């Protein structure tokens, strides 16, 4: 295993899984939020995001987590393994709330500098998670189905499955 693509909706545990997998495997970890956002919560233009994602995809070894559906196909084509974290929406809403409250005023390691957690954005983020829960699932499902035949795929829907998956890597 040299290249792992981790997919999932906000709050599904992509960043945490990527970090843990990186610790176990020694593979370098890349977070799409570093590409999506610039310092100060400024969104990067799409062509720039795609170019940055493609530069990571071209590397020989990576764990690359996050969205940007316009690069799903190219990432999947380079991946050895695709992991889909498909956990319940209630858990995801709880997780984004908890990470916001526990990290209030601080920037998470999976974000660029000067992107601190703030309560101001939380209601809009909840709404986004709720409103996109079906369309995002369909998009990820389609991307997984379209992945090349030689790519291993796993869909994890429970925390026990995630723990068992990590235990199997050790």
For 131-158, write each residue's pLDDT tens digit: 999 999 999 999 999 999 999 999 999 9
Cα–Cα distance, 45 to 36 (Å, whole number): 8
Q: Which of 105, 83, 82, 108 is nearest to 95 (CA)?
A: 108
Please tell me whether the overall predicted TM-score, pTM, comes out greater than 0.75 for this model: yes
Say if residue 90's pLDDT is above 90. Answer: yes
Q: What's the number of domains the chain is made of?
A: 1
Over the chain, what is the mean pLDDT?
A: 95
Q: Flag the least confident range among 75-89, 101-115, 154-168.
A: 101-115
Cα–Cα distance, 19 to 7 (Å, whole number): 14
Please tell me the predicted confidence (pLDDT) of residue 121: 87
Tokens standing for residue 99: 């990470």
Say if residue 23's pLDDT is above 90. Answer: yes
For 42-84, write each residue's pLDDT tens digit: 999 999 999 999 999 999 999 999 999 999 999 999 999 999 9
Cα–Cα distance, 111 to 58 (Å, whole number): 22
Residues 62-93 as b or e (16 or more Cβ within 10 Å = b): bbbbbbbeebbeebbebbebbbbbbbebeebb
Segment (H or E) for 76: helix 72-78
For residues 1-14, give the mean pLDDT: 97
Please tell me the predicted confidence (pLDDT) of residue 170: 86
Please tell me the predicted confidence (pLDDT) of residue 32: 96
We report the CATH number of the domain holding residue 85 as 3.40.50.300
The answer to whether the CB of 110 falls within 8 A of the CB of 33 is yes
Half-sphere exposure of 72 (CA within 13 A, CB side): 18
| Residue ranges making up the domain that contains 26 | 3-169
């Amino acid at each position: 295993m040299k290249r792992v693509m981790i997919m999932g909706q906000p709050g599904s545990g992509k960043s945490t899984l990527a970090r843990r997998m990186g610790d176990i495997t020694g593979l370098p970890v890349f977070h799409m939020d570093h590409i999506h956002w610039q310092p100060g919560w400024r969104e990067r233009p799409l062509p720039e995001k795609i170019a940055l994602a493609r530069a990571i995809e071209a590397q020989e070894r990576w764990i690359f987590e996050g969205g940007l559906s316009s690069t799903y196909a190219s990432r999947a084509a380079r991946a050895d393994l695709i992991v889909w974290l498909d956990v319940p929406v209630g858990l995801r809403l709880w997780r984004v709330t908890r990470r916001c409250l526990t990290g209030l005023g601080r920037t998470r390691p999976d974000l660029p500098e000067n992107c601190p957690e703030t309560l101001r954005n939380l209601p809009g983020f909840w709404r986004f998670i709720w409103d996109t829960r079906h369309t995002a699932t369909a998009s990820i499902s389609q991307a997984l189905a379209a992945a090349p035949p030689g790519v291993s795929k796993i869909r994890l829907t429970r925390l026990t499955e995630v723990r068992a998956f990590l235990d199997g890597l050790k």
